[in-house]
Structure 1
Amino acid sequence: MSLSTSVPMSATGCFANNGTAVGTVVSSEPGCLPGFYCPALTATGPERATICPPTDECLALRLLGGMCAEPMGLYEPIVCPKGSYCPTFNTIYPCPESHFCPIGTIEPLPCEPMASCPPGSKTQVYYGGLLLAFLLDLCILSIVASRAVLARVRARRVHNNNNDSAWMMSSNSTNGPLLELPKPNEGGGGGGAISSIPAVMAKKTTRNNDDIVVVRRSAVSAEDGDGGQHDTESATGSKSGDANHPGRGGANGAGAAGGGGGGGGDVSHLVAAYRRALGNQQLALHFRYEDLGLEIKARGITKTVLKDVSGEIVPGRMTAIMGPSGAGKTTFMSVLMGKVSRTTGSLFINGAEGEMKKFQKIIGFVPQDDIMLRELTVRENILHAARVRCPSAWTASEVETLADQILESLNLSHVANTIVGDEFKRGVSGGQRKRVNIGMELASTPLALFLDEPTSGLDSTAALSISRTLKQITNLGLTVVSVIHQPRYEIFADFDDILLLVPGGRTAYHGPTYGARPYFEALGYEFPERANEADVLMDILSGKSDHNNDTPLTPQQLARAWVQNPRVKTTASMTTLYTPGSDDSVRLTTLVAGRGAKFGYQLWYCLARAMRQQARTLGSVVLEVFVGLFCGALLGVALVGNDGQIYSSFLVDPYGAASSGDLSYTPALLGLLIGIIVALAAGPAGVKIFSEEKSVYWREAAAGHSPLAYYLGKTIASFPRLLLSALHFAAIFAFISTPLIDFSAVYAITLLVFWGVYGLATIVSMLVRRENASLLAVVCALFAAIFCGYGPTLANAKQWGVIFIWEMSFNKWAAEALYSRYMSTFSHVYFVQGSADLYGFTLNQEARDLWLMFLIGVIHRVIAFGCLIGLNRAKQR
């Protein structure tokens, strides 16, 4: 329809067919309001703005939320159309280049840098976010690719060097003169002969050192096996044990720190480091315990799992704890170390009653499972432990030297830069992981080392290698205690002392290992000639072994027999190796006070480690970013076709009668959709920050690491992932949907929604198991999205008196900021305050909204940290 005067008009200027006066004059002032276009009105004429009745076609458009193509009268104001701007009420110009003009534009809005705005633009097409995301992706991929190439070159170089070394050594062993072997009974222990055997050979020595058999083997296998050449060495060489028994070499015998046994490297490298860590003092930890007991109440029933266990553990000796299933071996160790509070009994440390918790920084505990970060290399795991737990006065070079010495001592140098690996990614072998497990505790230069079944899951050769390693560690003067299960004879013989427990947690024997057989033979038990002594003992403790009276003693009778006939519970050799000094308590307290890195250093180490983890799991990060990109694209596609305008409402007074249908719900709905989609994209990713390594935290917390440093390091390390995911989401969304708000606002709101979802997911990861956490995190984030104010609205919540629930949702503040930002563009055209009141939103408070979103995310993380340190307390002891 045209404004031609040929069309019949009423007296008010409205288009009519019969010339009757229709329409309503809505203004007494000349012209019309800013943002509206009234070409027939003048500033001096008598005509006034008039609202005319719409045609059927125009009415239908208005009801559907559209705008009529033409005004319904000569003097009826219309909103300045998209793609044009109206500097005065009766002038209109097309939108110039580098600007965009949404509906009701008075002055063209300048486009942001890196946005496309041709002449007549109704909105801007912002590609800057995509460009920034692409450049960041390209930079990251370049770094990763260059590192991969360097790693491949380095690996090829090492491989070539190993091949050259293997060829040279093979040539020497094949073409050179063979080693002249000592004849039987010549050379005694043969220490000098053993040291002269080439590295490509392995030795096999009988228990009495009567002969030595040299076996050729591939030099390369030293790198592939659990312990290199030592893994194939015989377990029957000279043993370090009690000096009074010829079968044992004693602390200074062939199995001493010189590396004669099959344990791996040479722990003599650690002697200087340990002396320096102790301040060149003669210090050790001696434990004496009396009547230790533990009762557990479950469902109203009290069960005794440990009862009246007494004895002592002496430094410089290796003590084994053995017993059948249900005997309380691990329970005894947990009670002794204070991981479980005992019901009865006393513990004396160097003669003074106390608890091990006080000395946790100088006591190492090696768990049964190989708990470590599998994404890191062997050296990185040990080095991190050393950095955090070594004396704070040590320099970085001293700490790194210690880590390298541990690697050498445990025969791990050749796999130092190998990823530990897991069931999905191949890494080091099982025996090497066990050594890493031990090395992480040796990195703290402890005075005592407790191990829970260190040989479980290993073949007999690898298990023997671990045993020999522990024996050499004992020779450093450490107190070594190990729970052991079904050891082979050579492993059993490596232990100096043994504690045997029967089901019910009572003592059946406690004393030197060599005294166990005579003791039980005195009770009438038989030890078959070719049987493994350890297996026979396990049968005895289970009540299944052969007895002279054909009726073996029950476990309870064995415990009573030990109490009634204690024989030598503590032999002279166990008590004279170390005599506590009168000032031990003060010196140990001073020693503990100087252990461990300061908080700031620990935070940096944890942050660097977490960043390294993410670099090693780049595929997971890429997937997370891609999901954010994909979800942003889906949301953007849902808004295509609106030229960025997703809002319309009643026109400002006095033009309300000419209004289109109300679309004021759309920005609120967008807030809901962003919350839902980000919940799906970020919920599972946020869970992964902590859920997959809670056992690592428990181990480190029990060892004295700072929980706050660990938590902050992991949290800060997640920021790049969060920033990248939110950037890709916002960039593709802004590019496709072309919203009428600047990209910085879109990104800020999106980023803080990601921030909130990550925080909520972190809480969930602390409360439930890993396999359930991802689903529950999404559900919780969906709840936060629902309480955004779209429906039920904030106005409803205020009426019900539960507005606090909505205000705890970060998505409520996101929706309000988004709503307010959209409204600011149209505040001179539409009745935006009425729309805001309908939903309960507060306008023009975007800065407050964003800060509250950030604060809620911080509160989420504070709660998560409280859960981290407050839950599973027993596992952190």
Structure 2
Amino acid sequence: MSTIAPSTNSSCLSGAFPVPLAEGFLCNPGFYCPNNTDAHPPEYCAPTTDCLLTRLQTVNNICPTPQGVYEPFVCPPGSFCAPGGQQLAPCPPGHFCPLGTAKPYACGATSICPAGSAREFVMDGFIFILVVDILLLGLFLEPVLRRAARGWARLLSAVSGKKLGSRDVEVGSERGDDGGGSGVSDAERSLRRFVASVGKCVGSGETGLAFGWEGLSLVLPTGKTILAAQSGFVGKGRMWAIMGGSGAGKSSFVNVLMGKTAHTTGTIYVNGEASQISRFKKLIGYVPQDDVLMAECTVRENIMHAASVRLPRAWTAAQRREHVDTLIACLGLAHVQHNLVGDALASAISGGQRKRVSIGLELAAAPMALFLDEPTSGLDASASLAIMGLLKQLSNLGVTVMCIIHQPRPEVLDFLDGLTLLHKGHQIYHGDMSGLMGHFSEMGFELSGKSNVADAVLDIISGHGIVPGTSAMPASALDSLLVSRWRPQALKIAADLSDREKHPAGHDLEALARSAASRGAPRLRQVYLCFIRSIKQQWIRKTSFLIEISVGAVAGLLIGLSLYQLKGMHFQGAYHAPFTILSSALNYTLVPQIGLLCSLAIGLAAAAPGVKTFGEEKQIYWREASSGHSRLAYYVGKVVATFPRLAISAMHFTTFYCVLATPWMPFWSMYLSNLLYFYCIYGLASIMSMLVRREDGPLMAMIVSLIIGVFGGYGPPLYLVKQWHLEWLWRLCPGIWLTEAYFDQHLAIMSHLYDLDLAASWTGYVRGRFAMDIGILLVIGTVYRVIAFGGLVFLNQAGRKR
């Protein structure tokens, strides 16, 4: 192995001649130099074969004994060598002493560190997660235990023959039907109370909005006409229907009128003045055809949230509760008000009840005008009449009601004041219900014998109606007839719109603007309401939360288990001069590798849950934002509600990793680093939820999280990236900052033993700026959220607007 001839006078075990390391006595911190003096300065001895093979390894690569009488020996793990290197002592209890310890490191108050410890088993995290998990388990089992207690109470009652009272078993309002025993008079009283409550909100006598439109049309960039130019007027306090066959343009007309879709030509009037209806969205309610509801909240919580956010801020909490109580009674939802709304797969209420809840969300805001898209769809005849009756009462109060209706029954038509009839994007009738039959009779269609005028009209415009004495009319001829016969009336309406007397204004626009400004909870209050609702959502979906923290814990456990045999020695550097020649095999890449593994594990654990933060309820956000909710308050409330989840998930991951890997990095420094990386992944997942479809969000978030994890400086190594002049690209990703924080903190306690500047130069990382690394992780995670918020506001405009 060695070409140096052995000497019987050599102080080296190999017999080779020693190499002096200093001219006099010298012992670097962390070394044991018992035989060195000024007369016998430290020496380097060529190692024996066995020692050389040991030093070439990257695990347990310290020779068990010095290779010469005067060769310094690095202080072994579990011991410390006091400054001067003349004393080797075992590590005292309550301290730990890794390789090359000059002064024992104190363990934490909860750490396990017996005498001779070479690493610290930190129990801080275990204590934290033990308390948290017990609390979560108790909350998780509480409903089960409560149901079991009620079951035992029923059993004991049956055995003893004692009849349970209302306090023993919950019955009555939870299961009964409010229409069963309340009677008609109670329903009427509830209706009157609700109408009075709305009147108090909007100001009876000055209630309502009048809408007009002149030459309103919508033409796509391709040249296809969706809505032909049309004009009309709906006065305040009118109950107006929009009807037509499938594809007639009913929804498009409402979208254009409300400002959801930009019109191509025309002018919209609000109370006689040219304006945009969207300007007064806080005063206007809109009920979509699909029931967009918060599945994890009860019927009452859904309606109460809308009332708390949208009612005038001057109202007290008691007034809001009374308003909501009355509304729930009017909608016939009292017996299910504490039931979860659920989704299409699992719901505790019927489809008709979901529709009533959807209407209740808008009525809770006491609007001055209300637009509804097929409010009676999914309802039985009785429920349809009840809803339309309530809407009619509101219109009598002065609230303008416009609704898209498909095949209404005759009793529903009796509630309507007027009708806009559309056919293939053209307006073929707009006026009072009383004039509908006469208009079609003038074209030769006989409607006097029809029991349902609406069905008869729809049959006619669909081509199923036949002019008496003639054969079936071709579709083109029918279309021409319907449009041409209405054109003179349309021109007359357009001319009348210029007459201000045709627009009885309840408020001028400035007064309306002031009224709108008084509506809605303050932004900070909305943040709180959205935060509380989001916390409840997470609790209802607690199973997914338990899975998330379990995945994080298992990931930390597996990574820690893979590093357990290293006994905390995750770095091996070159000793400070002049002892550099004594160094064993270097291990600069393990810490970057740990950073890569942890970033990938956190990405897998947090990406899918992060998508669910917004990806599953964008429709709810768009509905609420379009009705005047603060977009920023909604977003901030949702983001803040994820913080407890992040904190608990990061703690489980860090705890199980640290207890097995026992890194030199302080536990709370590692927890903070991991927490902020969780924060970044959640933010990145939020962006993905804005860019892709709901079902693709979790997969895309995981893929992107894995990609940015690779940009951590391990492979390709950061020093090579710098040679490519691409470090700026790596620095845009959070993985590089997490790994750099790991690198800095793992090496900090060994600055007395190793030349850390050499290690930093070789790897490319910058040491000594842990605070900056953490701060930039916070900044990146926040920037991700700002981008996600921009996507929430600006992407998918058609879906966002109501």
**TM score, norm. by length of structure 2:** 0.91
Q: Which moved more, 1:867-876 or 1:580-589?
A: 580-589
Q: 1:29 to 1:481 in 2, by over 3 A?
A: same
Letter in 1 for 2:232: G
Q: Which moved more, 1:578-587 or 1:309-318?
A: 578-587
2:87 aligned with 1:91, yes or no?
Answer: yes
Question: How far apart are the structure 1 equivalents of 2:224 and 2:744?
Answer: 64
Q: Which moved more, 1:265-274 or 1:731-740?
A: 265-274
Question: How far apart are the structure 2 equivalents of 1:862 and 1:64?
Answer: 48
Task: State the partner residue of 1:441.
Answer: 362
Identity of aligned residues (%): 39
Report the CA distance between 1:151 and its aligned residue: 8.1
Report the CA distance between 1:148 and its aligned residue: 6.0
Question: How far apart are the structure 1 equivalents of 2:303 and 2:132?
Answer: 33
Letter in 2 for 1:502: H
For structure 2, which runs of at least 5 residues remain unmatched after alignment? Answer: 1-5, 155-163
Question: How far apart are the structure 2 equivalents of 1:32 and 1:23?
Answer: 17
2:566 aligned with 1:642, yes or no?
Answer: yes
Q: Which residue among 3, 10, 13 is the counterpart of 2:11?
A: 13
Report the CA distance between 1:853 and its aligned residue: 0.9
Question: How far apart are the structure 1 equivalents of 2:532 and 2:170?
Answer: 35
Report the CA distance between 1:482 and its aligned residue: 0.7
Q: Which residue among 90, 108, 113 is the counterpart of 2:109?
A: 113
Question: Contact (CA 8 Å) 2:373, 2:403: kept in 1 or not?
Answer: yes
Question: How far apart are the structure 1 equivalents of 2:588 and 2:678?
Answer: 25
Report the CA distance between 1:329 and its aligned residue: 0.2
Q: 1:610 to 1:165 in 2, by over 3 A?
A: closer
Task: State the partner residue of 1:697.
Answer: 621
Question: Contact (CA 8 Å) 2:530, 2:638: kept in 1 or not?
Answer: yes
Question: How far apart are the structure 1 equivalents of 2:554 and 2:345?
Answer: 27
Question: Contact (CA 8 Å) 2:202, 2:367: kept in 1 or not?
Answer: no
2:467 aligned with 1:543, yes or no?
Answer: no
Question: How far apart are the structure 2 equivalents of 1:425 and 1:287?
Answer: 40
Q: 1:567 to 1:658 in 2, by over 3 A?
A: closer
Instruction: State the aligned residue count.
Output: 776
Q: Which residue among 6, 22, 39 is the counterpart of 1:27?
A: 22
- Secondary structure at 2:777's aligned position in 1? helix
Question: Contact (CA 8 Å) 1:543, 1:555: kept in 2 or not?
Answer: no
Question: Contact (CA 8 Å) 1:511, 1:568: kept in 2 or not?
Answer: no
Q: Which moved more, 1:589-598 or 1:462-471?
A: 462-471
Q: 1:378 to 1:623 in 2, by over 3 A?
A: same
Task: State the partner residue of 1:188.
Answer: none
Q: Which residue among 282, 299, 310 is the counterpart of 2:231?
A: 310
Q: 1:713 to 1:117 in 2, by over 3 A?
A: same
Q: How does 1:315-326 map to 2 (within 5 A)?
A: 315-326=236-247
Question: Contact (CA 8 Å) 1:347, 1:353: kept in 2 or not?
Answer: yes
Question: Contact (CA 8 Å) 2:311, 2:521: kept in 1 or not?
Answer: yes
Q: Which residue among 785, 796, 811 is the counterpart of 2:709?
A: 785
- Secondary structure at 1:620's aligned position in 2? helix
- Secondary structure at 1:751's aligned position in 2? helix
Q: 1:10 to 1:695 in 2, by over 3 A?
A: farther
Question: How far apart are the structure 2 equivalents of 1:279 and 1:315?
Answer: 14
Report the CA distance between 1:153 and its aligned residue: 7.7
Q: How does 1:354-373 map to 2 (within 5 A)?
A: 354-373=275-294
Question: How far apart are the structure 1 equivalents of 2:205 and 2:760?
Answer: 74
Task: State the partner residue of 2:123.
Answer: 127
Question: How far apart are the structure 1 equivalents of 2:144 and 2:396?
Answer: 42
Letter in 2 for 1:407: I
Task: State the partner residue of 2:264.
Answer: 343
Q: 1:166 to 1:716 in 2, by over 3 A?
A: closer
Q: How does 1:93-242 map to 2 (within 5 A)?
A: 93-146=89-142, 223=177, 228=179
Q: How does 1:410-489 map to 2 (within 5 A)?
A: 410-489=331-410
Report the CA distance between 1:784 and its aligned residue: 1.6
**TM score, norm. by length of structure 1:** 0.83
Report the CA distance between 1:569 and its aligned residue: 7.1
Question: Contact (CA 8 Å) 1:321, 1:481: kept in 2 or not?
Answer: yes
- Secondary structure at 2:430's aligned position in 1? strand
Letter in 2 for 1:13: S
Q: 1:166 to 1:847 in 2, by over 3 A?
A: closer
Letter in 2 for 1:534: A
Task: State the partner residue of 2:159.
Answer: none
Task: State the partner residue of 1:80.
Answer: 75
Deviations, residues 201-242 of structure 1 (Å, cap 9, x unaligned):
xxxxxxxxxxxxxxxxxx99863xxx84599x9xxxxxxxxx
Task: State the partner residue of 2:428.
Answer: 508
- Secondary structure at 1:557's aligned position in 2? helix
Deviations, residues 363-388 of structure 1 (Å, cap 9, x unaligned):
11111111121111111111111111
Q: Which moved more, 1:312-321 or 1:278-287?
A: 278-287
Letter in 2 for 1:540: I
Letter in 2 for 1:54: P
Q: 1:740 to 1:576 in 2, by over 3 A?
A: closer
For structure 1, which runs of at least 5 residues remain unmatched after alignment? Answer: 1-7, 168-218, 234-253
Q: 1:558 to 1:581 in 2, by over 3 A?
A: closer
Letter in 1 for 2:135: C
Higher helix proportion (structure 1 or 2): 2
Task: State the partner residue of 1:287.
Answer: 211
Deviations, residues 603-637 of structure 1 (Å, cap 9, x unaligned):
11111111121122211211111111111111111
**Deviation >6 Å, runs of 4+:** 151-157, 162-167, 566-570, 575-579
Q: How does 1:851-862 map to 2 (within 5 A)?
A: 851-862=775-786
Question: Contact (CA 8 Å) 1:431, 1:466: kept in 2 or not?
Answer: no
Question: Contact (CA 8 Å) 1:506, 1:559: kept in 2 or not?
Answer: yes
Q: 1:434 to 1:811 in 2, by over 3 A?
A: same
Task: State the partner residue of 2:523.
Answer: 599
Question: Contact (CA 8 Å) 2:207, 2:399: kept in 1 or not?
Answer: no
- Please provide the CA RMSD for this pair: 3.0
Question: Contact (CA 8 Å) 2:376, 2:384: kept in 1 or not?
Answer: yes
Q: Which moved more, 1:473-482 or 1:811-820?
A: 473-482
Question: Contact (CA 8 Å) 2:611, 2:688: kept in 1 or not?
Answer: yes
Task: State the partner residue of 2:479.
Answer: 555
Q: 1:769 to 1:138 in 2, by over 3 A?
A: same
Question: Contact (CA 8 Å) 1:49, 1:75: kept in 2 or not?
Answer: yes
Question: Contact (CA 8 Å) 1:628, 1:681: kept in 2 or not?
Answer: yes
Task: State the partner residue of 2:57.
Answer: 64
Task: State the partner residue of 2:326.
Answer: 405
Report the CA distance between 1:408 and its aligned residue: 1.6
Task: State the partner residue of 1:50.
Answer: 43
Question: How far apart are the structure 1 equivalents of 2:193 and 2:29?
Answer: 85
- Secondary structure at 1:475's aligned position in 2? helix
Question: How far apart are the structure 2 equivalents of 1:769 and 1:165?
Answer: 42
Q: 1:740 to 1:678 in 2, by over 3 A?
A: same
